[in-house]
Structure 1
Amino acid sequence: MLTNDLITERLILKSTREEHAPLCLDMWLDDEIGKYLGDPPRDKADEKYMNFAKGIEEDETWYPFVAFLKDTNEFVGTGSIVPMEDKMHWDLGYCIHKKYWRQGYGTELIQALIDFGYAKGGRKFTADIAQENIASNAVIKKLGFTIEKEGSFNKQGTNITYDNYTYKLDLE
């Protein structure tokens, strides 16, 4: 769903548009960056996946964002937040380009998503993260999330299964 830009100290988060698809896909399908995502590897991505952004501006079920540096407009990553039926629970996801790992951009992006969801009535936020993804687990814990449950997910188009944590953050 299209919305106003979210502005943080160093980032501008813009609603994802069809023209952003190449940036997103190039990052998500990168073997290193996309390792712990549920997305398929590049050679297994089907036509539907490759065309994920068709009509994205009209999709009213979620808020996908692309993040850029305020100063240089360089692409940093993606984030999305999805309101559940009760509008109190929101699920989020994110991916930071490896060029920007370990510089605090993930924390900044996630906090912007939480603030956005909170302003729209969200009070419980969740995120699923592969247990092996040490850096992402550290970022989400830094923001006050705690483990709600454990599970697993399959990487699309592969036989790879990752154990994951579902993290939650309750705000009042």
Structure 2
Amino acid sequence: MVVEYEEIPEESSCFAAGSPQDTARLVIDRARKDDLADILFLANNRRIAEKLTNMPHPFTYEDAKALVKRCEVQLPSQATFAIRMKNTGRFIGAIGFNPLAEDFGAVHLGYWVGEPFWNQGYATEAVQSVIEFAFANGVKELSASCRVSNPASHRVLTKCGFKQDGTTKLHSLGAMAVVDATRFTLTRTQWIANTRWGSAG
């Protein structure tokens, strides 16, 4: 399960924003050095890279170390987290967001989950947790995008309350091509309304 994932710039300053809440099956926290083997094994997959913008293929050990380093950066509108199994602690993917320069208070969400863990609901759990975390830390709007040819991620984003907001073209390092993508958005106001409606139901 993958969605378009933007690189998050490495910064020297950190913001102790905490971590998203655990889900029924997942822990969302920082990647660690002892995750490097799992990161490399899962991320070095062309099927994932072709669906993302900035994930290289081959994915090297240096790329895995860079992901761990990005998890050290936590700002109100910028963070990267590991997705890991609660019962084993194993790393299974990554999720994060970074600011949209043209829209203060808005961030772009991206995630990927290793292929052995696709189609099991893990992406939906992780996205829901990070949505709540982002809005609790002052984010006003989330955007995301995924390839038109990736219906699984369309379903994840729709389940999590995102609305389609047109189409765009993105350059994918893994696909080595410009690809068609669907844009999605979710505002804090919409999310609150959806949450209240769900509670009332």
TM-score using structure 2 length: 0.72
Q: Identify if the C-alpha distance between structure 1 residues 142 and 27 changes in structure 2 by more than 3 Å, giving closer, same or farther.
A: same
Instruction: Please give the residue correspondences for 1:15-164 in structure 2 after superposition, counting only pairs within 5 Å.
Output: 15-38=30-53, 39-42=55-58, 49=63, 51-53=65-67, 55-56=69-70, 58-60=72-74, 62-84=78-100, 88-156=105-173, 159-164=176-181
> 2:144 is aligned with what amino acid?
A
- Structure 2 residues not aligned, in runs of 5+: 1-13, 190-201
Per-residue Cα deviation, 1:104-148 (whole angstroms, up to 9, x for no partner): 111100001101001101121111211111111111112121122
> In 2, Cα distance between the equivalents of 1:147 and 1:123?
17
Q: Identify if the C-alpha distance between structure 1 residues 166 and 21 changes in structure 2 by more than 3 Å, giving closer, same or farther.
A: farther
Runs (4+) of structure 1 exceeding 4 A deviation are 45-51, 84-87
Q: Please name the residue that 1:6 is paired with.
A: 21
Q: Cα offset for 1:21?
A: 4.1
> In 2, Cα distance between the equivalents of 1:6 and 1:136?
22
The count of aligned residue pairs is 170
More helix by share: 2
Query: Identity over the aligned pairs, expressed in percent?
Result: 24
> In 2, Cα distance between the equivalents of 1:105 and 1:158?
24
Q: Cα offset for 1:7?
A: 1.0
Which structure's relative contact order is higher, taking Cα pairs within 8 Å and 6+ residues apart? 2
Q: What is the DSSP-based 3-state SS (H/G/I as helix, E as strand, rest coil) of the residue aligned with 2:47?
A: coil
Cα RMSD over matched residues?
A: 2.6
> 1:52 is aligned with what amino acid?
A
Q: Cα offset for 1:87?
A: 5.7
TM-score using structure 1 length: 0.82
